[in-house]
Amino acid sequence: MTGSKLKTFLNNAASKALPNFSDQHSKQKQTASLEKIARETIGSTYLEEDPSVAEWFRGLVPSSRGVAEYVDELFPSARWVRRYNVSWLVGDAIAGITVGLVVVPQAMAYALLARLTPAFGLYTTFTGACLYWVFGTSKDIVIGTTAVGSLLVGSVISKIEAEHPGVYRPEDIAHALSFLAGAVLFVFGILRLGWLIEFIPYIPISAFVTSASITIISTQLPTVLGITGLNTRESPYKVYVNTLKSLPRARLDAAIGITSIVLLWLIRDVCSKMELRQPHRKRMWTLISSLRLTFTILLYTFISWLVHRKVPAGHEKFRIVGHIEKGFSHAGVPPMDSKLFGLVASELPAIIIILIVEHIAIAKSFGRIFNYTIIPSQEMIAQGAANILSPFVGGYVCTGSFGASAVLSKAAVRTPLAGLFSALVLVLALYALTAVFYYIPNAALAGLIIHCTINLITPPKSLYKYWQLSPFELFIWICGVVIAFFTDLETAIYVTVGLSFAMLLLRMAKSPGKFRGSVGVTRIVRNHRVQEAVASCSSSATATPTGAHETAATHNSETRQVYLPYDSKAHNPTVKVEPAYPGVFIYRFSENFNYINQAYHIDYLTSYIMKHTRRARADDGMRASDRLWCDAPPFAKVDEEKSALPILRAVVLDFSTVNIIDITSIQGLIDLRNTLDRYAAPALVEWHFAGVQNRWTRRALMFAGFGFPAADSVDELGHWCPAYTVATSLAGATEDEQRELEVLHMEMRGNDEEGRERGGKVGVQARVRAVALEKEGFQPIFGVDRPFFHIDLHDAVDAAVRDAKRQDERGGMASESLGNYSGARGEA
């Protein structure tokens, strides 16, 4: 055969083997033929209806019921506030007041990290406490100031002040940042985009929190030691080095700062030990431990008052907070400066990521503990609303606080309304305690920050767990911490998230699929009577009953085929995995099949199949002048080596892990099909798909020409012997009829000899009735117009093997091919 003739043959074969979608008449003729075959075989038919684009658009239009449910979900408080009772009120009041006493000193301390006066921390926490209960879905979370959030705000303020000195006040920058972050979060929540936070993996957040803790401690060490003149906004390693160099300049503040840290740790450890020794008083010791922050601040405030009550302003022995304006003196409409918004917009991504991930992580952890569900989109709305309102009362960025939330949950809170009682404590502090706040030592607040922050550092046991679970992710964690230590937090979060995405893309691009072979398996179940006998032997001196070993297990005589990877180490290595049939290849994708990994899968499929098969013709007949430069001619030596290999008959793709398929993947399958058709010519390669459940994926594969039998013409479909997976309705069948149905099923599976043997044991009437029941009850699961989309891998392989056997029998080479291939596959 000349090269031009071979090209013509291949083109004609390909055009005949696949439906011509540009020819509507051919498509209708093929569908009618397939429908006729199905009706003759199973007595019924079903044509699958493909989804349309219009149907997709109609699915986007919300129904009136959906709109009502959406509005109802926006205000979850409306579902429980009507059931509010006195018992809940008492629990919320106690928990709210307790948390209020904890967050007052905490909020004041964290405001210093944001380069603001302590009052701004109280404004911020007040906003979150007042508003969260309306939109939130967690009873245990407290929205307010946090160490990490305050540090980020302080960094933005420092950066803008350095670029535009004297133009903007620190509080204006903080207000603009809070308003923009709140607006973004609120819109995301309204659009129900809470699922976006799942794109942020755990490791970058863990690395960021540890890095932020190290950075926060570096900013507070000079304050604890009373060292002035250091730039704490530099990279952490520089701050630590400069602090060590400046130790000779430490002042009396060091006595207060260091002893406050020691006192806080001492109270916590003593309370923890007493909880174990006195479990009946556990709640009391937990409450004392929770209030250690308040107690410490009050103690050192009292000491400061004793020292400075007669000292004129400006001559303090150690640094103190100083004057705090009473009430909400900074409340009002914040300046809406578009230029300022533009300056802070570039800093928003990192801040928003940290705010929402920290908040959702805390809320979900308490939801798992107390068995209630968190709705991320609603949490975005609650957090967004709090951050939008915060600038109007003088506050800045707020998010969920883990320390305060832990106190709230331990105080037996009942509903989210507990935040209102915390807000009352904050109002009391702003209007009645500002004179007391004047004497709070800065070193004591810094010690409180260090005490709260050092617990956020990831412990070594967690790093060991990372190493055991995923060494590369531990590498990402280390990279994040090192980068933050020597540069800044924003760079660290971007690098770690980028590395995590790179790791994900690499895993997707190189996700290895597996070729599978067949193994016959059965079930052996231990006899229950023997288990009872063994149990009685363990509790008495009686001997094992005679015959126990003979009845130790019940063997199920039915054998079924399972399909295991050839090279897997997950199963017993002594179990030999054999090909399902010579020339039939079973391939399972390890995960989704998409444009990222399609080239990897297609290349692997091509090389593996060609390595384990041979051409149908030893000489392809193509002239050297007609051959592509990259298409090597067949060599006699290679053909001799591959003569023991089978001819390619079918490819079975397990799509059970594949949902949506894209155009790039479809094109890859089309190119692979064309390559294998040229390789196997003049034979036609069948393509079977298992577990394709998505309607759009089925439609795409069908449009690309998959799902149909390989035939030279539509007329040849009459010689094709299909196998259908059907649902049956056998109500009213007698025992003999059901037994005869089993015989029919065996015959359909190819066990004709055994089926005829068992069929002689039942009457002719039962057989006739069984056939009628089968005809009446058969309903195809999937459309008969695409018979090569199978319900599972077993049916797909069964159909592929049947057709391959039939092709070999028609070619008169079944036995030779099977014998040769078994030996060749074993060597491979």
Which pair of tokens denotes residue 28?
Answer: 């209708």
Q: Which residue type does 602 have?
A: I
Predicted pLDDT at 391:
95
Domain ranges of the chain: 3-53+580-723+785-827, 77-458, 514-565, 729-777
User: What element of type H or E holds 399?
Assistant: strand 399-400
Q: What integer best gives the mean pLDDT of the chain?
A: 82
Contact 114, 174 (CB under 8 A): yes
pTM of the predicted structure, to 2 decimals: 0.72
Q: Are the CB atoms for 615 and 680 separated by under 8 Å?
A: yes
Instruction: List helix spans (H) across 309-375.
Output: 338-345, 348-370
Q: What is the pLDDT of residues 140-151, one digit of tens each?
A: 999 999 888 898
Find the mean pLDDT for residues 502-512.
87
Predicted pLDDT at 312 = 86
Q: Which two tokens stand for residue 651?
A: 């490819």
Query: In this predicted model, which residue has the larger pLDDT, 8 or 492?
Result: 492
Determine the Cα–Cα distance for residues 116 and 150; give it in Å rounded to an integer.
9
State the pLDDT confidence band at 22, using cuts at 50, 70 and 90: very low
pLDDT grade for 777, boundaries at 50, 70 and 90: low
Calpha distance 668→598 (Å, rounded): 7
pLDDT in tens, 729-746: 554 556 665 666 566 555
> Which of 5-19, 406-420, 552-566 is the least confident region?
5-19
Mean pLDDT, range 666-676, rounded to an integer: 93
Predicted confidence at residue 12, as pLDDT, reads: 45
Q: How confident is the model at residue 452 (pLDDT cuts 50, 70, 90)?
A: confident
The answer on pLDDT for 636 being more than 70 is no
Asked if 366 and 141 touch (Cβ cutoff 8 Å), the reply is yes
Confidence check: pLDDT of 399 > 80: yes
pLDDT of residue 24: 59
Mean pLDDT confidence for 296-301: 92
**pLDDT tens profile 42-83:** 777 888 888 888 888 888 888 888 888 888 889 999 989 999
Report the pLDDT value the prediction gives residue 711, as an integer from 0 to 100. Answer: 64
pLDDT band at 475 (very low <50, low <70, confident <90, very high): very high
Q: Return phi, psi of residue 614, to 5°.
A: -130, 165
* pLDDT in the model for residue 86: 92
DSSP code for 320: B
Under a CB-based contact definition with an 8 Å cutoff, are residues 720 and 33 in contact? Answer: no
Reported as a pLDDT band with limits 50, 70 and 90, residue 383 is very high
Tens of pLDDT, residues 165-198: 989 999 999 999 999 999 999 999 999 998 888 8
Ramachandran angles phi, psi of 517, nearest 5°: -120, 180
Residues near 753 by Cβ (< 8 Å), separated by ≥ 6?
none
How far from the centroid of its chain's Cα atoms is residue 725's Cα?
A: 34
Residue with tokens 């795409």: 700
- In this prediction, residue 216 carries a pLDDT of 86
Structure tokens given for 743: 């015989």
The reported pLDDT for the residue numbered 482 is 95
Residue 821, Cα to own-chain centre: how many angstroms?
A: 43
703, 697, 713: which is closest to 653 by C-alpha? Answer: 697
Q: pLDDT value at position 14? A: 43
DSSP-assigned beta bridge partners for residue 518: 563, 578
DSSP string, 604-664: HHHHHHHHT-B-SSS-----GGGS-TTSPPP-HHHHHHHTTSPBP-EEEEE-TT-----HH
315 token code pair: 């001559």
Tell me the pLDDT tens digit for each residue of 194-225: 888 888 888 988 898 899 889 989 988 999 99
CATH, domain 3-53+580-723+785-827, list 2.70.98.10, 3.30.750.24, 3.40.50.300, 3.20.20.60: 3.30.750.24
The predicted pLDDT at position 744 comes to 57
Burial class from Cβ neighbours inside 10 Å (0-12, 13-18, 19+) for residue 299 reads: middle
What gap in Å lies between CA 767 and CA 667, rounded to an integer? 49
The model's confidence at residue 755, banded by pLDDT at 50, 70 and 90, is very low
Q: Reduced to 3 states, what is the DSSP secondary structure of residue 586?
A: strand
User: Smallest Cα–Cα separation from 439: which of 324, 576, 334, 340?
Assistant: 324
Lowest mean pLDDT across 70-74, 660-664, 707-711: 707-711
Closest by CA to 609, choosing from 576, 649, 660, is 649
pLDDT, tens digit, for every residue of 514-572? 999 999 888 888 765 555 544 554 444 444 444 444 445 555 557 888 999 988 777 88
